[in-house]
Structure 1
Amino acid sequence: MFLDKVSIICFLASYTVALAAELTQFWRRSAATRWATLLFAGAGLVAHTSYLISRSQQHDLPPLLGSTHDWLLVSAWLAMVLYLGVQFWNPQLSLGVFCLPVVVTLVIVSRFVSTSPNPQVGQLYVWSMLHASFWVFGILGVLLAFLVSLMYLAQHYRLKHKRSELPALHLFSLERLSRMNWWLVILSVPMLTLGMITGLWMIYLSKTGTHPVSLLSLTVAVNGAMWVAMAVLFGWMLGAKNPTGRVVAWRTALACLFMILTLFVMKLVSADGIHGPATTPVASSPL
């Protein structure tokens, strides 16, 4: 069957070529290069979709519940869908130089985490689905907030130093980027909060199952710290009076970067939590 023959290398190579083509536009911008970028990105998305469908059929589970491996690939898939959608809506917007590196990173990291199904899914299917859905959209919001913050800082630097806009780096206005950044943080934190709540509930329910998990586990503590970092940013953005856009962008970028790096590290080395050890069957989401 065709789906079974698609591997990560197929879409990782396509995304990497798309990123390389995007970067070449800093030296020479052309319609041919732009279409080549979209072509390789689109081909990668098709292969990516086929791979997720194949994984879902193998384990008879939605991709979000398949494993940590699948969960990261779903996040990358959503980012690619958003990227291509925005590019067809506004071809001149330079989103690829910010979005494609994140997608490539997510795909690479997915190769180093567990590919085995979550041992809790059979007992807690509905709660697992809710937990994974809340968390993946929360993390996607964090990723987008991070990217928008970088766009804001790049645009602010250009305007402050009165430099002309690079043909390959066309961005939204500072006002629009600031507004997008604010909304992404405001929407992401409630999603992450619901993800934390459902995760804690799953831990409580696991006490009577075959894979009990302690609330004192390292994974729970670290995920709690990530949530606190975003909650503090959330509270500051709601309570601050007339904060400058540059300060908001820097704080958002640093908070999101902290959360993203912590998430990746925990996915690689975690040995406890409701998803089991990293070297044995684990699950689809970070808590």
Structure 2
Amino acid sequence: MLQVTIFCFVASYAVAFAFEATRLAKSHAILRVIAIGFTAAGLLAHSLYLYNVSQSSELPPLLSSTQDWLLMLAWTVSAFALLIAALDQKVASGLFLLPAVLALVGSALLLSGEPSVLIASADEVDHVVTRRWVMLHVSLLMLGIAGVVIGSVFSLMYLFQHRRLKHKQAPTGRINLFSLERLARWNRWSVLVSVPLLTLGLAAGYVLGAVADYDGENLTFLDPIVVASSLVWLVLAGLLGWILRSETASGRTIAFRTLLAFTLMLVTLLGLQILSGGLSLNSWHN
């Protein structure tokens, strides 16, 4: 396969975002087509990079390292951005989604590129069950956090659109967004989908902590990432319960609270992963 580096798809995403931003000044259909083309090129290079990593490590990207796990998360958000762009080329979705992709890739560069000790030791001892639980754990978390990222973008879109309509700023044709009703519906679904996925992923992590060991040492539930994840989950569970019970809350209120809760989660979890990846924090996740 071609030797693709992280720079290849980062550059493609950056150029795609630049063309999206250019549409703020000049609204030409060709600019949108070029932006979609560079997004597709970035996604292809991204896919090739993850494939090469998987081949060299003989592990799926979700297990090869924390860095590759986050790159897989960025790939998921990028694929969603391309899907939305293809479905409606008039909506400036890339203006909001591509920065999220670039931020995730940038965060991945700060994480460890080495496999977890649990995975690295799987060839020495029979840890087939452990590896399966790790795969279930990281897959559910990846999908749940992808929902969180996308939900955060929808919330941001809603607040931006709400402010523009409130101040009677008519669309100029340069920044077209989805209707408030659609954004509110998608925002609600992002919570309804991501929180259960994160709940299952966290539960799988607890089971993993109960069944896994390394050199005869049991994993501890006092791991700082486990503790922080549990606390953030309580916040998200509270948000889900509030949304399910609330029938009179405005879409703006839901969007604002969703953005606040999701941002808290992303900053907390990514920050702890970066600290553990740099060995500044003692965790089984490094």
Give your verdict on TM over 0.5.
Answer: yes
* Among 225, 235, 250, the residue aligned to 2:241: 235
Aligned match of 2:211: 205
Aligned match of 1:86: 84
Kindly provide the amino acid, as one letter, of the partner of residue 268 in structure 1.
I
Residues 117, 214 of structure 2: 8 Å contact kept: no
* Among 231, 252, 257, the residue aligned to 2:258: 252
1:125-161, Cα deviation, whole Å (9 max, x unpaired): 1111111111001001111110110111111111111
Kindly provide the amino acid, as one letter, of the partner of residue 58 in structure 1.
S
1:255 shift after superposition: 0.5
3-state SS, counterpart of residue 120 of structure 1? helix
Q: Is 1:174 aligned with 2:180?
A: yes
Aligned match of 1:55: 53
1:58 shift after superposition: 1.0
Size of the alignment, in residue pairs? 274
Aligned equivalents of 1:234, 1:221: Cα separation in 2: 20
Task: Give the direction of change, closer, same or farther, for the CA distance of 1:183–1:125 in structure 2 (3 Å limit).
Answer: same
1:206 shift after superposition: 2.3
Task: Give the direction of change, closer, same or farther, for the CA distance of 1:260–1:168 in structure 2 (3 Å limit).
Answer: farther
1:76-129, Cα deviation, whole Å (9 max, x unpaired): 111111111111111111110110000001111111101111222322111111
Residues 203, 274 of structure 1: 8 Å contact kept: no
* Among 147, 158, 161, the residue aligned to 1:152: 158
* Among 5, 8, 25, the residue aligned to 1:7: 5
Alignment map for 1:40-189 (pairs within 5 Å): 40-121=38-119, 122=122, 123=127, 124-189=130-195
Kindly provide the amino acid, as one letter, of the partner of residue 34 in structure 2.
A
Residues 202, 274 of structure 1: 8 Å contact kept: no
Aligned equivalents of 2:217, 2:150: Cα separation in 1: 34
Kindly provide the amino acid, as one letter, of the partner of residue 110 in structure 2.
F
Task: Give the direction of change, closer, same or farther, for the CA distance of 1:208–1:103 in structure 2 (3 Å limit).
Answer: closer
Aligned match of 2:196: 190
Mind listing any 5+ residue stretches in structure 2 that lack a counterpart? none
1:19 shift after superposition: 0.8
Aligned equivalents of 1:44, 1:208: Cα separation in 2: 38
1:75 shift after superposition: 0.8
1:258 shift after superposition: 0.7
1:204 shift after superposition: 1.2
Residues 152, 259 of structure 2: 8 Å contact kept: yes
Task: Give the direction of change, closer, same or farther, for the CA distance of 1:211–1:49 in structure 2 (3 Å limit).
Answer: farther
Aligned match of 2:35: 37
Kindly provide the amino acid, as one letter, of the partner of residue 173 in structure 1.
S
Q: RMSD between aligned alpha carbons?
A: 1.4
Which portions of structure 1, spanning 4 or more consecutive aligned residues, are displaced by more than 6 angstroms?
none
Kindly provide the amino acid, as one letter, of the partner of residue 251 in structure 1.
R
Aligned match of 2:274: 268
Identify which range, 197-206 or 185-194, moves more after superposition.
197-206
Residues 19, 101 of structure 1: 8 Å contact kept: yes
Structure ranking higher on relative contact order (CA contacts 8 Å, 6+ apart)? 1
Residues 219, 272 of structure 1: 8 Å contact kept: no
Aligned sequence identity (%): 39
Residues 69, 113 of structure 1: 8 Å contact kept: yes
Aligned match of 2:16: 18
TM-score (norm 2): 0.92
Residues 223, 284 of structure 2: 8 Å contact kept: no
TM-score (norm 1): 0.92
Aligned equivalents of 1:174, 1:132: Cα separation in 2: 33
Aligned match of 1:283: none
1:42 shift after superposition: 1.3
